Structure 1
Amino acid sequence: MKSYRSNKATKLNLRDFKSVQMRTFWITSLAFFLCFFAWFGIVPFMPDVVKDLGLTPSQKWNSIILAVSGTVFARLAIGKLCDKYGPRLCYTYLLVFGAIPVILLGFVQTPLQFMVCRLFIGFIGASFVITQFHTSIMFAPNIVGTANATSAGWGNLGGGANRLGMPLIAAAVVSFGVADEIAWRYSMVIAGILCLAMGLVYYFFTQDTPEGNFQELKEKGEMPVLKKDEASFSSVLKDYRVWILFFVYAACFGIELTVYGTMDDYLQNRFGLDRTFAGNLVLSFALMNIFARTLGGYFGDKFGNTKGVRGRVLFLAVMLGAEGLMLSFFSMTTSIAVGMVFLIAFSLTVQMAEGATFSVVPFINKKAIGSISGIVGAGGNVGAFLAAILLKSKSAVAESSALIKSNGLGEEAMKAAQTAASASAVSAGYFLIGGCILLAALVSLAIKFTGSEEVVASNKLNVLLADK
């Protein structure tokens, strides 16, 4: 019986747009970019949304948490669906149906409607799992970490590019005579239409594997039909390494989401930066995904090729440790110059840790890459959810206490006290989160691979390289 993974690419040739492996790489990266662009598309317009819908501070925080929470369930489900139906159909349906709440967000009239839409928009964050699954079955072990990290990193750019792209779309809409205060509605509709169009592109221009689509291969007898699907998924759930990687991804991607989601306000409150400058700084850190996450996957592959799968784990632990230290040091700085050094270092290491994580994932259980990717990917959103809850609770308590103590001193004094309290609370929260990341680094060292697993990975790589 022919293996449906026998023609994996052993090189990542970015100038190649014709081979099925590289065509899939480019399309899945673009699809992921658009999903993140739409997922966080409302962020640049939040001041307009708050004014238009009358959101309270609590409702604003809750909408952020809901947008992250919805992704957890979607990622857990989509991985198993990928294993069964293939990434092509899963991505097509996700893009088409995910476009609906994005479009509907442009028509909301109440805070409740807004939060419901943000919850369901979060489902398109599951696109990450499909992207990692699709590149994992298109690229060989010697390059899979680099391919996974690059496609994910470039896709993540959508979460930063929206800070520039969405205002530009809004400006174009305004130029056609639309009122500035409602331009955000039209912008979200346009973002949803782009996702819908991308779903059609994915259906017609990609395929599940280098040899063809899952259904076709099953009909030809070239791909085994997994009759023990439930047993296979059960074995995934029982594998301790999957849950360690769940924790690890919570400590890198989850923390990146929360830190960058709160960094604008923190930079203003802590260092007195104006909103525009703070926003541009955060955008520049997000743009580091162009290369930083790729570096994590690249060095993960390098260590894997020379020291086996264990080498990938060791590199991951080092990156996590560096990430935790950089965030902790940043939280203690009071100088903007020194703070920027640590924040840049944090941005680099957290994204490299993300790339390194998914240089390990494909080697846990090759028969259930989708399920494992879904569980690990969901860990990122669980981490973001817990970190957001931590920062929200600490900030709320500190601000309330500051307002009570400064009551009667005047509005300006109360505002200053509230700002200082918020900065101090978030700083303490960042330090605590840094400690949790260091714990994740230590726990990651518990990931072990048997001698037979190392041999299988090495033998498969040798066969693939010999065929090229």
Structure 2
Amino acid sequence: MAGHKEFKLFSFSGKMKILHLSWFAFFITFLIWFNFAPLLQHVKESLGLTTAEIKTLLILNVAFTIPARVVVGMLTDKYGPRLVYSLLLAICTIPCFVFAFSANFVQAAIARFALGMIGAGFVIGIRLVSEWFPHNELGIAEGIYGGWGNFGSAVAAFALPTVAVMFGREDGWRYAMAITGVMSLLFSIVFYRSVTDTPKGATYYKPKNAGTMEVTSTGDFYLLLIMKVPIYVSLGLLAWKLSLSSVGLFSSFTVMTIYLVLGLIYIFDTFHLWKVNKHIFVEEVPEIHRYKFKQVAVLNVLYFATFGSELAVVSMLPLFFADTFGLTPVVAGIVSSTYAFMNLMSRPSGGCLSDKFGRKATLLILTAGLAVGYFLMGYVNGSWPIWLAVIAAMGCSFFVQSGEGAVFAAVPLIKRRMTGQIAGMTGAYGNVGAVVYLTILSVVDYSTFFFIIAATAMLGFLTLVFMKEPSGQIAEVNDDGTITMIDVAKA
């Protein structure tokens, strides 16, 4: 933590109070979002579900998060993190309670789909933390926010089965899930009463149009259109997965309808984007107000490879260890949890390194380490000692999660008033990555799966060549027309 003289981690006043309240809000969102997997067997028996129906619920759990992160990012920029986070925590308790007390598969499926919205909470805190911390502390602050909040999934895996057993009977899982909903509802009130969007006297800059992203050159306009395509494709991929005979939730006609609707939304999205940005085709944006969208595009690709692979690997690792080393499900679950546990130190480490050695240099090193880590995981087999396989998984996860921390150390330095939108798009790319990787896993073996992730990490490494180290200042316009310059790097 050297170099962060005013960064008193265990203080609970000023900016540190905001950081602690933010990561805990994020922690609760992940606790709820991942409250299903550890109680999966209880839910299956209690509701009399088939294996195919359980798989469907797992897919539905992540489906809505992709568009939700984009939309919530826009709402955050427009209405402020305090209001949006408080509302998200409160509103998402409804599908949480509905799922906890659902009587059949249909009720559970609708509730689980709606609950995917809570996965969007992450992007709200990115904007809030960026308002409170200077550029030289931003990496470690965002890293602590992301890493400690992300730990909610690990706590869900360990604590909720125990809570379910404490309540006993076949309905124990229902009360365990309901408790997470109660926590979210209570904390939404605490958060709203305790947080402000900016330090006293600071201005909260809002985008001119919160409905879509502003760009500052014609080249960026076309690049943004291209970068939106994978988001729509991933939603189409989810619809296709839900139509497979093993799941059978959607008919062929329903899937074709979804494809058509997604295509129409993309066309509308394109028209709206042009409407907001058409002035750039007529006149050049002054240099002082420009930002480079390629910065966002590179971070999207990197988050696809980092958080996308984390989500995919966390969900398959217990099965991988059980199949490869003949472990019982319980032991395999404990062993594979080491991957998620790394979040506590890895994300903050990535952010801290980014503050100290620069955003681009840190991302280059961590992305290279990520590629090597997954390449090594591709060679893990039953002849390896189990301890060595666990060390390989933990080493790999360090680079994955440190990379996530380094990505979001750079996100708030691109354009302050659009931080929510940029974080929303980059965050959505993480979920897009998970959908793509898990789809690949369904048709290849474990070894090929890890090699493919390593290859996408190398692609991310190559895109980093086009990233420019954030430097100088960002210009933001005040309500009275005056301009404020915000530092993004050391002078």
TM-score, reference length from structure 2: 0.77
Partner of 1:329: 376
Q: What SS is found at the alignment partner of 1:259?
A: helix
In 2 relative to 1, CA 444–64 (structure 1 residues): closer, same or farther, beyond 3 Å? farther
Q: CA deviation at 1:243?
A: 2.1
Q: What SS is found at the alignment partner of 2:348?
A: helix
Which of 6, 11, 22 is the equivalent residue of 1:16? 11
Q: What SS is found at the alignment partner of 2:417?
A: coil
Q: State whether residues 83 and 370 of structure 1, in contact with CA within 8 Å, keep that contact through their aligned partners in structure 2.
A: yes
- Mapping for residues 5-84 of structure 1, pairs under 5 Å: 11-19=6-14, 21-84=15-78
In 2 relative to 1, CA 23–285 (structure 1 residues): closer, same or farther, beyond 3 Å? same
**AA at the equivalent of 2:191:** Y
Paired residues in the alignment total: 403
Compare 328-337 and 155-164 and name the one that shifted more.
328-337
Compare 453-462 and 144-153 and name the one that shifted more.
453-462
**AA at the equivalent of 1:17:** F
**AA at the equivalent of 1:123:** M
Q: CA deviation at 1:224?
A: 6.1
Take 1:115 and 1:320, find their aligned partners in 2: how far apart are those partners? Answer: 36
Deviations 1:332-389 (A, max 9, x none): 1221233222111111110100001011111121221111011111111111111111
Which of 148, 162, 165 is the equivalent residue of 1:168? 162
Q: State whether residues 296 and 422 of structure 2, in contact with CA within 8 Å, keep that contact through their aligned partners in structure 1.
A: yes
Unaligned runs of 5+ in 1: 1-8, 305-311, 395-424
Q: State whether residues 38 and 156 of structure 2, in contact with CA within 8 Å, keep that contact through their aligned partners in structure 1.
A: yes
Q: What SS is found at the alignment partner of 1:207?
A: coil
Give yes or no for the alignment of 1:439 onto 2:459. yes
**AA at the equivalent of 1:376:** T
Partner of 1:454: 471
- Mapping for residues 367-386 of structure 1, pairs under 5 Å: 367-386=417-436
Take 1:159 and 1:318, find their aligned partners in 2: how far apart are those partners? Answer: 27
Give yes or no for the alignment of 1:315 onto 2:309. no
Deviations 1:34-73 (A, max 9, x none): 1101110111111122222333333322322221121111
Structure 1 ranges of 4+ moved more than 6 A = 462-465
Unaligned runs of 5+ in 2: 225-292, 476-484
Partner of 2:148: 154
- Mapping for residues 192-203 of structure 1, pairs under 5 Å: 192-203=181-192
In 2 relative to 1, CA 17–439 (structure 1 residues): closer, same or farther, beyond 3 Å? same
- Mapping for residues 65-144 of structure 1, pairs under 5 Å: 65-144=59-138
Take 1:47 and 1:140, find their aligned partners in 2: how far apart are those partners? Answer: 46
Deviations 1:124-178 (A, max 9, x none): 111110111111111000010110011110000001111122123213322xxxx
Q: What SS is found at the alignment partner of 2:433?
A: helix
Deviations 1:441-462 (A, max 9, x none): 221221125xxx6222798559
**AA at the equivalent of 1:455:** G
**AA at the equivalent of 2:316:** T
Q: State whether residues 74 and 126 of structure 1, in contact with CA within 8 Å, keep that contact through their aligned partners in structure 2.
A: yes
Which of 163, 188, 191 is the equivalent residue of 2:180? 191
Take 1:457 and 1:12, find their aligned partners in 2: how far apart are those partners? Answer: 23
In 2 relative to 1, CA 52–144 (structure 1 residues): closer, same or farther, beyond 3 Å? same
Q: State whether residues 65 and 388 of structure 1, in contact with CA within 8 Å, keep that contact through their aligned partners in structure 2.
A: no
Take 1:281 and 1:348, find their aligned partners in 2: how far apart are those partners? Answer: 16
Q: CA deviation at 1:112?
A: 2.7
Q: CA deviation at 1:198?
A: 1.0
Deviations 1:289-336 (A, max 9, x none): 1111100000001012xxxxxxx1221122112112211211212212
| Percent of paired sites with the same residue | 31
Partner of 1:290: 344
Take 1:296 and 1:129, find their aligned partners in 2: how far apart are those partners? Answer: 18
Partner of 2:297: 243
Give yes or no for the alignment of 1:345 onto 2:392. no
**AA at the equivalent of 2:412:** P
**AA at the equivalent of 1:56:** T
In 2 relative to 1, CA 117–225 (structure 1 residues): closer, same or farther, beyond 3 Å? closer
Take 1:393 and 1:118, find their aligned partners in 2: how far apart are those partners? Answer: 25
**AA at the equivalent of 1:25:** L
Q: What SS is found at the alignment partner of 1:368?
A: helix
Give yes or no for the alignment of 1:270 onto 2:324. yes
Q: State whether residues 143 and 408 of structure 2, in contact with CA within 8 Å, keep that contact through their aligned partners in structure 1.
A: yes
Give yes or no for the alignment of 1:429 onto 2:449. yes
In 2 relative to 1, CA 366–333 (structure 1 residues): closer, same or farther, beyond 3 Å? same
Take 1:258 and 1:456, find their aligned partners in 2: how far apart are those partners? Answer: 37
Compare 315-324 and 227-236 and name the one that shifted more.
227-236
In 2 relative to 1, CA 344–383 (structure 1 residues): closer, same or farther, beyond 3 Å? same
* CA RMSD, Structure 1 to Structure 2 (Å): 2.4
Take 1:462 and 1:389, find their aligned partners in 2: how far apart are those partners? Answer: 38
Compare 99-108 and 9-18 and name the one that shifted more.
9-18
Partner of 2:440: 390
Take 1:348 and 1:72, find their aligned partners in 2: how far apart are those partners? Answer: 25
In 2 relative to 1, CA 228–128 (structure 1 residues): closer, same or farther, beyond 3 Å? closer
In 2 relative to 1, CA 279–115 (structure 1 residues): closer, same or farther, beyond 3 Å? same
Structure in which a larger fraction of residues adopt helix = 1
**AA at the equivalent of 1:188:** M
Partner of 1:416: none
